[in-house]
Chain A
Amino acid sequence: EAGVAQSPRYKIIEKRQSVAFWCNPISGHATLYWYQQILGQGPKLLIQFQNNGVVDDSQLPKDRFSAERLKGVDSTLKIQPAKLEDSAVYLCASSPGLAGYNEQFFGPGTRLTVL
């Protein structure tokens, strides 16, 4: 079974530039998550989708971050414009259903450096 795919793996941009990350979850997984992991911290949930609907985006900085999951499969996360404090690893995860008693399967992450 193929795992969660993410691209790119690494990205370096200047502050105020835009960047987009892509995630393809495990086939058949209805729920998709985007996490931000700043160095030395644990992953922090940014947004969760159930199929193509948003379940929770309470911690997404909506003035600069946006995410979509068209057709309920793959997803993109965009930052526009980027700030220095956005430097982090962005992790995508998926799980079969909405219920919390499911493990989440993580992709390898995209390491973003904002200069």
Chain B
Amino acid sequence: DQQVKQNSPSLSVQEGRISILNCDYTNSMFDYFLWYKKYPAEGPTFLISISSIKDKNEDGRFTVFLNKSAKHLSLHIVPSQPGDSAVYFCAAGPGTYKYIFGTGTRLKVLA
């Protein structure tokens, strides 16, 4: 049973436009959420996080939105750049170390 789902395996966006990556979770005990970016042959790198007491967190071009009632979060990248092309993982957990990762979405930003 997958507790964290990223239903879009891939996404292509034109440079300068908005990229929206989605993530759904099933466990209502999850209250901390993270996004990681992964380039080929490298480990995931932390991008942005959000706790359940917020519905939005912003860091430069990256914004994460959390809809607790829908158990849904999304990552917005504006404007998208070719260097953003990578696999993006969302992860969720109950505020402890044990995060469950989604299967990832491969983003391709077209120049």
Contacts and interface: CB of A to CB of B under 8 A. Distances in A.
The answer to whether A and B belong to the same complex is: yes
Contact of A100 (B44, B95, B102): B95
A45 B99 contact: yes
Contact of A101 (B46, B51, B100): B51
Interface residues of A, number: 26
B101 A104 contact: no
A99 B98 CA distance: 10
Interface residues of B, number: 26
A99 B49 CA distance: 14
Given A91-B43, A103-B34, A40 B51 contact: no
Contacts of A103: 34, 46, 49
Interface of B: 4, 32, 34, 36, 41-46, 49, 51, 89, 91, 93-104
Interface of A: 4, 31, 33, 40-45, 48, 55-56, 91, 93, 95, 98-101, 103-109
